[in-house]
Amino acid sequence: MFYIEIPEVRPRVFQLVAELPPVPAGKRWRGYSFAQAPEFTVHSRMHGSHDKPQPYVLRGVDKSGRLLVQTLVATQYDPIGTWHEIDSEYTTEGYRFKRYALKPLATLIKLGQKAATVRARVAREAQTAAERAEKCGTCPVCFGDYVVHGKSPLMVHHGYERPGIGYIVGDCHGVNFPPFEVSCEGTKSFHKGLGLRLVQVKELLAGVDKLDVVFVVCGTKRIGMHVLPDHKQLNRGDAGFDRAIENVRSNHEREIQSLERGLVEYAKHIADWAPQPFPRAKKGSAS
């Protein structure tokens, strides 16, 4: 070893063969408790690389884990026996522990925490799905998953907006119809409405060339708290009338195509319909 114990001195003083200065007097110094019997040197990278560390002798450790050391060799910065306070991670041993033991352990802890978070989220999603399965059904028109009410049961209001005028706007056609698992009456009703609208739009398209007046959007206007589109009237012969007529014709043609696709789609839903278990889950049943 590089040092010997000097007996009958308190706190214990360890003196190197190279005649290092003694430890400061008193049992504690600057928060340090002196090492009772240090038996190893500390290789620090403070004044060198990890390949060529500088050796220090350990003298004490404070509450925060900082080390009190003395130099064992003279360097270009310090003579032999110089006192230093260093963090454990600045030592070769501490660096190796942090990199090869503590860092993988921290990674494992982090992965475990992430796994626990994922498990908790999956459990919450499963619980939510189970609760929704007990009280929700499929809308026969928009085929969204919404709450049902009553013993019948019937679909609640959905697909609407609340513009702040005292009532809801744009309710789905499937409201107050039984869910699709129970009946396709809502689907049939909507299919019938599409057919009626198709006939109406075709009649409007046939009469486009006979129009003498067209209303076009020319901006917006504010009514109270609401901003609404503003229209102006164009008569036959006015500038822009022919273009407005073509826009009306194009809108009717696009709507006819959309209605025809909808009729085919909803006819398939009606043809493929079969009753399904409802509610989809019972309280207390295994999911």
Query: Does the global pTM surpass 0.95?
Result: no
Residue 128 domain flag: no
133 inside domain = no
Say if 204 falls within a structural domain: yes
Task: Please indicate, yes or no, if residue 47 is contained in any of the structural domains.
Answer: yes
Its domain, for residue 255, covers 184-275
Q: What is the pLDDT of residue 35?
A: 46
Can you tell me whether residue 25 is helix, strand or coil? coil
Q: Among 57, 90, 123, identify where a domain stops.
A: 90
Q: Please say which residue of 90, 117, 142 terminates a domain.
A: 90
Q: Look at residue 261 and tell me if it is in a domain.
A: yes
**Residue-wise pLDDT tens digits, 45-81:** 655 555 567 777 777 776 666 777 778 777 777 788 7
For residue 282, pLDDT over 70 is answered with no
Structure confidence at residue 259 (pLDDT)? 93
Is the residue at 165 inside a domain?
A: no
DSSP 62-87: ETTSPEEEEESS--SS--TT-EEEE-
Q: Which of 90, 121, 140 is the last residue of a domain?
A: 90
User: Is residue 204 scored above 50 in pLDDT?
Assistant: yes
Residue 119: inside a domain: no
Q: How many domains does the chain have?
A: 2
Question: Which residues 6+ apart lie within 8 Å of 244 measured at CB?
Answer: 214, 216, 234
